[in-house]
Each structure stands twice: as C-alpha cells, then as structure tokens.
C-alpha cells in the first residue's frame, strides 16, 4: 500500500529573559546545581508567583511574527502531574486560553517549493527541573536551576508530510526566534527542542492515523532520523496486521531507533484548572503596538529584499538570511565591495560556510571577517586572481588571519593576463606534445581539456582561464 506521513511538531523555545517566569531567580545556564532556585522555584507552600513582563513581551512578539491572533485575555492553568523535578506537583502552563492563537509561517523546500504550515497556538509555561543520574551509583539528585525558566510551546497543525518538511519548519521557527532575540536557539543546552507527533495513513485517506509522540528531540538531524525511523516502524506494523498505539516514545541516537516510553496521557489526566494565584493576562492594543514597533526586519522580508536588491535567487537569499548575523556579514561584504553581490553571495554561502561548518564556528567567530572577504572577492572581480586560485588564498587567509593582498603578493599568485605570456606557454606545451596535437587536429576534441591542464600547469595555475581557453582554441586549430 501507498502510505502518507502526517507530522505535527510541538516546539519548546526557552525565552531569553534574565530571570524566571514567576520568580526573580536568574536563568543563566551552567550554574552550580540549585544555586539559582529560590523558594518559588522550590515550590514552598505559601509563596506566590509573579509574572515576568519580559516573558510576555517575547511571547507576543512571536505571535506577531507569525501573524497570529494575540489573545486579549489568556489564562494560566495548573497542569498536575508528579515528577521528582517538579516539587509543586504541577506545572504552570496555559491550556484553554493561550496567549498566542492561530497563525502560520511559510517554509521553502530544497527544490524551491513553498508551503504554508499552520500554527495552532503558542502558550507560555514554566520549565521543570532536572533529575541527575550521576555521582552516587543508584541514586539520583535534583537540580532545580531550570525550574521556572520561561518557555513558549509552539504547537503546529498536523500539516507536514515528510521528515524534510518537519525539519524545514523547525529551522524556520529556529531562525524566527533568534531574529526576534527571544531565544538563543542553543539546541545542545536544550534551549530549543521539539516533540514530533508522527502518524501514517493510506494515501488518499482523509482520516488521520493514530500518532506516536517522540519526545525531546534536540537536533535537526535527530528530528529527521527519528521521524524516518518512526514512519518505517508504523508502516511495518500496519502492513503486518498490527496497530499503532498512541504513546510517547524516545529516540535513541546511538541505536537510531525510537522506543516506547509510556502510554500517552489524555489531557483530562492532568486535571487542568486556572491557577488561582495568577490573574488572567490581559493584553491591549497599546501593548501590541509597542511590541510591534520593536520587531526587526523578519527573515521573509529580508530574503525578499535580498533577492530584489542584490539580484539573488530565492534560494540563495534564503540561505543568506538564515540568521541576522549571517545576513549582516553578507551585507557588509557587499557594502565594502560596492557591488558584486552575486560573487559575494557565492563566497559567503560557499567557501566561507564550508569552513565555518568544518570548524564548527558561528559566523561571528569567523576567522575571515567581512572586510577581509571583501578584499579577496575584489581581487577576483578585478581579475588579479582567478576564482580557483582564490580558493587557495581563502584557505591561507583562514589559517593565518592575513589579508588576501598580502598572501597574493607573497606567494606570487597574481593572475597572468598578459596575452603574450599565455601564448608563449601554449606554444611550449604544443611543442612538447606533438602527438596529442596531431590527434586533436585529426578530430579528437576531448584532448582540449588535456591542453588546458598542461598550459595551466605551465603557468602554475595563474593564467586567466577565459583568456587561456580562447587563445588555446585559436592556436590548436592551427594557422
Ligand atoms: P497533546 O498536547 O496531547 O500532545 P495535541 O492535540 O495538542 O496533543 O497535539 C499535539 C500535536 O500533535 C500537534 O502538533 C498536532 O498537530 C499533532 N497531531 C495531532 N494529531 C496528529 C496525527 N494524527 N498525526 C500526526 N500529528 C498529529
Ligand atoms: Mg504533546
């Protein structure tokens, strides 16, 4: 049978506030266990939560960025469950009335197709603490530093139809929260993670299949692998006459498989009710306008501007606007060059991106800055060096931190554009290879590449490639 995959994601983004959502404790990552947990975070009886206004502003800015309805009135609810790292016995979340309602965003797939993904809601909630299973064998310890850290949970519609779409969606949300400055997006530290709900159904069916929820995926690669594994598992199960059960599963990156964790609770198991310690959250038009006024140029708008202003393809514009920092770097290169936007785009999304990736560096930590890259690209544009030599120069810049001009001068890499010099090199190569020359003239066109290679070699790769090709064609054809 032909199966269709259905995916909906619940993304948890940790809001980048300095203090917690209902207490004054710091949220900074990496402190000694329980150094950032006060009486509210410890769940002492009689203490009262006080809502952090900055967390509200951040949630609202997300809502505006995905064109969602921001609720004029939303309510905090207690979600009751027992967990050792949840001393209150409940998590403060939002349930029936979330602060952000329906919205959507657009993803662009590798082949250029665009798709709109619905956002059901985004609600504010507090994170729980952490159980640590290290140190004393057989014992666990509780660290409540994370307890009360503000999160927004962004729930999507079940609109995605492949792991690739799910990853594209998650990346788009990741880009967006970082543009907005509301989440640092650090996935290793768990600041941005998702639960993937996955089901399959016979293609053409209009009913959804039973879903499994894969918890706490904290890398794009894991999301893709976990979904693909889960889809295959469910199809196997159904085709062998079995049934998918609604449950929570965990992805094991070492084994590359998902495993059952527990059967899924129904919402009514949580006994949600409005938290009597917190007033409803009311948001008026003036507050919305004030938040709207702080929004930066958002990724879609920036990509459209890049495509238009710099003549880039939509795909390239999308790549270059994946983060604000990358976009700023690119614009700085173009500004310094005073032109050459396409060449600059190729270098930023090509060699530069590859080296950053190889060394696992963010753009802000690039070993070649925008001024230096502009220096290199300028030398390609003015034909001082060829694009091919430029790759070697770039590598040398990356390693040494020096400027392109210094490396070009020191290594004598300046391109040969003198027609006479190139012709002399060609003459020598022809003289040295009379056999190949005769074959070429007898119609073996393939040998053209051989002569290009030999002449390039004779000039240590420095001949201007376009000139070399043209002159070579003339000379080989003969008088
Ligand atoms: P819960 O909060 O219990 O996990 P929700 O109804 O809020 O349940 O749904 C959570 C997520 O599951 C949403 O992102 C939704 O799009 C997705 N989802 C719902 N039904 C399916 C399904 N049959 N297949 C895949 N995803 C689904
Ligand atoms: Mg869920």
Query: What tens digit of pLDDT does each residue of 302-327 get?
Result: 999 999 999 998 888 999 999 999 99
Ligand 1 mean position, distance from CA 213 (Å): 8
pLDDT at site 465:
85
pLDDT at site 402:
96
Mean pLDDT by 10 residues, the chain (479 residues): 96 98 95 95 95 98 98 97 93 97 93 92 97 85 96 98 97 97 94 97 95 95 97 97 94 92 75 96 97 96 96 90 96 96 96 95 96 96 90 96 94 85 91 92 91 90 87 85
pLDDT at site 400:
96
Q: Which ligand 1 atom is the nearest neighbour of the CA of 158?
A: 16
Strand 212-217 relative to strand 247-252, pairing:
parallel
Look up the pTM and report it. 0.85
Separation of alpha carbons 146 and 143, rounded Å:
7
Ligand 1 within 6 A of CB of 170? no
Ligand 2 mean position, distance from CA 418 (Å): 68
- The protein residue whose alpha carbon is closest to atom 2 in ligand 1 is 267
- Indicate which ligand has the atom closest to the C-alpha of 216: 2
Ligand 1 within 6 A of CB of 270? no
**Which of 122, 182, 193, 125 lies closest to 156 in space, CA to CA?**
122
Tell me whether residue 21 is exposed, middle or buried, using C-beta atoms within 10 angstroms of its C-beta: 0 to 12, 13 to 18, 19 or more.
buried
- Indicate which ligand has the atom closest to the C-alpha of 246: 1
> Is 1.10.10.410 the CATH classification of the domain at 419-477?
yes
Ligand 1 within 6 A of CB of 11? no
Separation of alpha carbons 22 and 356, rounded Å:
39
Q: How many other CB atoms sit within 10 Å of the CB of residue 428?
A: 13
Q: DSSP 3-state assignment of 12?
A: strand
Ligand 1 mean position, distance from CA 156 (Å): 8
Ligand 1 within 6 A of CB of 416? no
Of the residues 101, 103, 155, which should be mutated to test ligand 1's pocket, given the most ligand atoms within 8 Å of the CB? 155
Ligand 1 within 6 A of CB of 10? yes
Ligand 1 mean position, distance from CA 199 (Å): 10
- Cβ neighbours of residue 60 closer than 8 Å, sequence gap 6 or more: 70, 99, 100, 283, 287, 288, 291
**Residues 89 and 302: beta-carbon distance below 8 Å:** no
**Residues 170 and 195: beta-carbon distance below 8 Å:** no
pLDDT at site 262:
75
* CATH 1.10.10.410 domain span(s) along the chain: 419-477
Ligand 1 mean position, distance from CA 106 (Å): 20
Residue 73: enclosing H or E segment and its boundaries? strand 73-74
**Residues 321 and 345: beta-carbon distance below 8 Å:** no
Ligand 1 within 6 A of CB of 415? no
Q: What is the DSSP string of 115-169?
A: EEEEEEEEEEEE---EEE--SSTT--EEE-SSTT-EEEEEEEPS-B-SHHHHHHH
Q: Which ligand 1 atom is the nearest neighbour of the CA of 208?
A: 23
Neighbours of ion ligand 2 (CB under 5 A): 10
Ligand 1 mean position, distance from CA 309 (Å): 40
**Which of 411, 277, 359, 293 lies closest to 57 in space, CA to CA?**
293
- The protein residue whose alpha carbon is closest to atom 8 in ligand 1 is 267
Q: Which ligand 1 atom is the nearest neighbour of the CA of 9?
A: 14
pLDDT at site 477:
85
- The protein residue whose alpha carbon is closest to atom 5 in ligand 1 is 155
pLDDT at site 79:
96
Q: How many other CB atoms sit within 10 Å of the CB of residue 415?
A: 23
Ligand 1 within 6 A of CB of 98? no
Separation of alpha carbons 178 and 171, rounded Å:
11
DSSP 26: B
- The protein residue whose alpha carbon is closest to atom 24 in ligand 1 is 199
Q: Is 449 left (phi over 0), alpha (psi -120 to 50) or beta?
A: alpha
pLDDT at site 30:
87
């Amino acid at each position: 049978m032909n199966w269709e995959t259905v995916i909906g994601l619940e993304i948890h983004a940790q809001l980048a506030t300095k203090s917690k959502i209902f207490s004054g404790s710091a949220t900074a990552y990496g402190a000694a266990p329980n150094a950032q947990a006060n009486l509210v975070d410890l769940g002492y009886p009689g203490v009262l939560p006080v809502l952090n206004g900055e967390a509200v502003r951040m949630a609202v800015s997300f809502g505006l960025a995905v064109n969602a309805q921001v609720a004029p009135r939303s309510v905090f609810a207690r979600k009751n469950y027992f967990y050792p790292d949840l001393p209150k016995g409940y998590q403060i979340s939002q349930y029936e009335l979330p602060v952000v309602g329906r919205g959507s965003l657009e993803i662009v797939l590798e082949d250029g197709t665009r798709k709109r993904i619905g956002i059901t809601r985004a609600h504010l909630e507090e994170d729980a603490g952490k159980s640590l299973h290290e140190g004393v064998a057989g014992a666990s310890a509780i660290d409540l530093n994370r307890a009360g850290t503000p999160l927004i949970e962004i729930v999507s519609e079940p609109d995605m139809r492949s792991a690739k779409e799910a990853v594209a969606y998650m990346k788009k949300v990741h880009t967006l929260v970082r543009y907005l400055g509301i989440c640092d997006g650090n996935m290793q530290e768990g600041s941005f993670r998702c639960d993937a709900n996955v089901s399959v159904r016979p293609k053409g069916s209009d009913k959804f299949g039973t879903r499994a929820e894969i918890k706490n995926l904290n890398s794009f690669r894991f999301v893709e692998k976990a979904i693909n594994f889960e889809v295959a598992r469910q199809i196997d199960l159904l085709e062998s006459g079995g049934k998918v059960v609604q449950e929570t599963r965990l992805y094991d990156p070492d084994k590359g498989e998902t495993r059952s964790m527990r059967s899924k609770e129904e919402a009514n198991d949580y006994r949600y009710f409005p938290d009597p310690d917190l007033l409803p959250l009311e948001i008026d038009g003036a507050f919305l306008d004030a938040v709207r006024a702080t929004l930066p140029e958002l990724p879609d708008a920036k990509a459209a501007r890049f495509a238009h202003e710099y003549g880039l393809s939509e795909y390239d514009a999308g790549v270059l606007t994946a983060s604000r920092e990358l976009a700023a770097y690119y614009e700085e290169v173009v500004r310094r060059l005073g032109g050459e936007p396409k060449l600059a785009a190729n270098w930023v999304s090509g060699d530069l991106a590859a080296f950053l990736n190889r060394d696992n560096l963010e753009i802000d930590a690039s070993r070649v800055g925008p001024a230096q890259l502009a220096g290199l690209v300028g030398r390609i544009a003015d034909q001082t060096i060829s694009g091919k030599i430029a790759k070697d120069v770039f590598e040398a810049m990356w390693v040494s931190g020096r400027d392109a001009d210094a490396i070009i001068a020191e290594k004598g890499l300046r391109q040969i554009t003198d027609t006479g010099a190139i012709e002399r090199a060609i003459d020598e190569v022809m003289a040295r290879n009379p056999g190949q020359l005769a074959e070429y003239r007898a119609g073996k066109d393939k040998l053209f590449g051989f002569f290009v290679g030999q002449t390039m070699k004779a000039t240590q790769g420095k001949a201007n490639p376009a000139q070399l090709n043209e002159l070579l064609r003339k000379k080989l054809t003969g008088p």
